[in-house]
């Protein structure tokens, strides 16, 4: 399956790791719908690592752990499909998954057929235990071919953490999204690191194969598997806005059944989601305020001709940001001007003397959608 905008959904790993089961999946799916996030575009419910038994069955097939998934995976898929959602599952190109469950090395065609039979719509494919003697790109192509021939549209989500120059070959594998970095953790240092790792690979993404900056930590508040102290709500706002401006898939990672209103408002910010999901899929470009890597200004030209501009203060002090309309591609001799608003506060974009200018506190962002008039 190919999605022409970055896939959106929820994934079990960030909060629950191995503590997953049918009840958690189905109740989270219900909350995704009841809380309005499904209507915002979140549709994939992805069961990450630790869903299987440690041994394959006599026919060499993967077996869902019957204690965690007493009715099997087809039941889960049918339940989600009946509600307009899609099922994602997880495997790995090595002999074992990262948590040491059986994985798909040399079983690619069997596993793709099994997933198709269950009604799976999405496969996250990891990189642990890849034999040194085999190339990751060859193993990913093998799974890409297996999925393309399994008789069901299954979205291929690569997760090789940017290793082995993933950006150079991932587009040849059939993957629709690719993880460009190592794992996210729920603290601001991790968000900052993942954003800065994008600077050199901005051209490698977009329609066809989206650059996946990893699951969101918005709303985790230090709880769960990758909880490492947590972030403030302003830091979560910055994190979400950066993922949207950079066009990453948006996979919620918190416990959606216990989400507070602020978290729901961040994840459900339709104007930011519209930037992430912009169908034209233009790549973002980058300026560095004062030449500082920790003060990125990220810009995207949107499909309707608007500009999305984000000021991101990754430093620990308040910073002044500015960028001229000329820098943004709208010189004054064009007779055109930019006007618009900030997308969290709704405040008018502060444009003075043909310059978008604002003072931004530490660990905060300002994101504007600007019209050319
Ligand atoms: C790797 C991936 C994570 C998660 C775990 C599961 O670390 O990068 O996203 O899937 O494996 O074990």
CATH number of the domain bearing residue 334: 2.60.40.1180
Residues annotated as catalytic are 126, 183
What residue has token string 């629950």? 16
334 and 256 in a common domain = no
Q: Is residue 294 in a domain?
A: yes
3-state DSSP assignment of residue 324: strand
Give me the pLDDT at residue 314, please: 98
The enclosing domain of 108 has a CATH number of: 3.20.20.70
For the whole model, what pTM was predicted?
A: 0.98
Q: Round to whole Å and give the CA distance between 220 and 217.
A: 6
**Domain match, 229 and 259 both:** yes
Q: Confirm whether 241 is domain-assigned.
A: yes
Residue 21 falls within a domain, yes or no?
A: yes
Clarify whether residues 164 and 89 are in a common domain: yes
Q: Are 356 and 264 in a shared domain?
A: no
208 and 339 co-located in one domain: no
Whether 357 is covered by a domain: the verdict is yes
Pair 103, 47 in one domain:
yes
- Kindly state if the Cβ of 108 falls inside 6 Å of ligand 1: no
Structural domain contains residue 181: yes
Using the 3D structure, point to which of 276, 300, 329 is the last residue of a domain. 276
Kindly report, residue by residue over 149-195, the tens digit of the pLDDT.
Answer: 999 999 999 999 999 999 999 999 999 999 999 999 999 999 999 99
Let me know whether 228 and 94 are in one domain: yes
317 lies in the same domain as 251: no
**pLDDT (0 to 100) of residue 1:** 59
pLDDT classification of 2: cutoffs 50, 70, 90: confident
Indicate whether 258 and 172 sit together in one domain: yes
Mean pLDDT, rounded, for 249-272: 98
> Same domain, yes or no, for 167 and 290?
no
Each residue of 77-133: pLDDT tens digit?
999 999 999 999 999 999 999 999 999 999 999 999 999 999 999 999 999 999 999
Q: What is the rounded distance in angstroms from the CA atom of residue 355 to the CA atom of residue 103?
A: 54
Best residue among 96, 126, 129, 163 to mutate for probing ligand 1's pocket (most ligand atoms within 8 Å of CB) is: 126
Residue with CA at minimum distance from ligand 1 atom 11: 98
Is residue 1 domain-resident? no
368 φ/ψ angles, rounded to the nearest 5 degrees? -115, 145
Ligand 1 mutation pick, 90, 98, 179, max ligand atoms within 8 A of CB? 98
Averaged pLDDT, 6-13: 98
Where among 237, 253, 276 does a domain terminate?
A: 276
Q: Which residue is closest in CA terms to ligand 1's atom 3?
A: 183
Residue 234 covered by a domain = yes
Note the pLDDT of residue 176.
97
CA 318 to ligand 1 centroid distance, Å:
35
Taking the C-alpha atoms of residue 370 and residue 338, their distance in angstroms, rounded to an integer, is 6
Answer for the pair 325, 356: CB distance below 8 angstroms, yes or no: yes
Query: Total structural domains in the chain?
Result: 2
Dump pLDDT digits (tens) for 264-320.
999 999 999 999 999 999 999 999 999 999 999 999 999 999 999 999 999 999 999
- Using the 3D structure, point to which of 239, 257, 276 is the last residue of a domain: 276
25 close to ligand 1 (CB < 6 Angstrom) = no
219 domain-assigned? yes
Pair (327, 362) in one structural domain:
yes
Q: Of all protein residues, whose CA lies closest to atom 5 belonging to ligand 1?
A: 98
pLDDT tens, residue by residue, 40-82: 999 999 999 999 999 999 999 999 999 999 999 999 999 999 9
Which residue range forms the structural domain that includes residue 345? 285-372
C-alpha 319 to ligand 1 mean position (Å): 35
**CB hemisphere CA count around 127 (13 angstroms):** 22
Residue 178 Cβ contacting ligand 1 at under 6 Å = no
Compute the distance from residue 84 Cα to the ligand 1 centre, in Å: 26
Same domain, 218 and 363: no
């Amino acid at each position: 399956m190919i999605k022409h905008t970055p896939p959106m959904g929820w994934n079990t790993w960030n909060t629950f790791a191995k503590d997953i089961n049918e009840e958690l999946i189905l109740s989270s799916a219900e909350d995704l719908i009841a809380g309005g996030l499904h209507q915002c575009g979140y549709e994939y419910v992805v069961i990450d690592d630790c869903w299987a038994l440690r041994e394959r069955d006599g026919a060499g097939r993967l077996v869902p752990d019957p204690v965690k998934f007493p009715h099997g995976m087809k039941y889960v898929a049918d339940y989600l499909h009946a509600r307009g959602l899609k099922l994602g599952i997880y495997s790995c190109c090595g002999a074992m998954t990262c948590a040491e469950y059986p994985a798909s090395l040399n079983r690619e065609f069997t596993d793709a057929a099994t997933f198709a039979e269950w009604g799976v719509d999405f496969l996250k494919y990891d990189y642990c235990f890849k034999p040194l003697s085999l190339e990751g790109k060859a193993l990913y192509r093998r799974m890409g071919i297996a999925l393309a021939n399994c008789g069901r549209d299954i979205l291929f989500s690569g997760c090789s953490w940017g290793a082995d120059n993933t950006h150079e070959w991932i587009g040849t594998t059939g993957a629709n999204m690719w993880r460009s970095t190592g794992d996210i953790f729920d603290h601001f240092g991790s968000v900052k690191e993942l954003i800065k790792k994008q600077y050199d690979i901005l051209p490698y993404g977009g329609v066809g194969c989206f650059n996946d900056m990893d699951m969101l930590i918005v709303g985790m508040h230090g709880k769960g598997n990758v909880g490492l102290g947590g972030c403030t709500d302003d830091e979560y706002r910055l994190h979400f806005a950066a993922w949207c401006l950079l066009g990453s898939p948006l996979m919620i990672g918190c416990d959606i059944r216990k989400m507070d209103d602020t978290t729901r408002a961040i994840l459900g910010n339709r104007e930011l989601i519209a930037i992430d999901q912009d169908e034209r899929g233009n790549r973002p470009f980058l300026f560095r305020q004062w030449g500082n890597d920790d003060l990125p200004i990220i810009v995207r030209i949107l499909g309707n001709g608007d500009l999305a501009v984000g000021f991101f203060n990754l430093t620990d002090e308040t910073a002044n940001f500015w960028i001229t309309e000329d820098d943004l591609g709208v010189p004054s001799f064009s007779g055109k001007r930019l006007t618009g608003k900030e997308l969290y506060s709704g405040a008018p974009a502060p444009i003075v003397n043909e310059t978008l200018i604002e003072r931004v506190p530490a660990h905060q962002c300002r994101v504007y959608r600007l019209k050319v008039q």
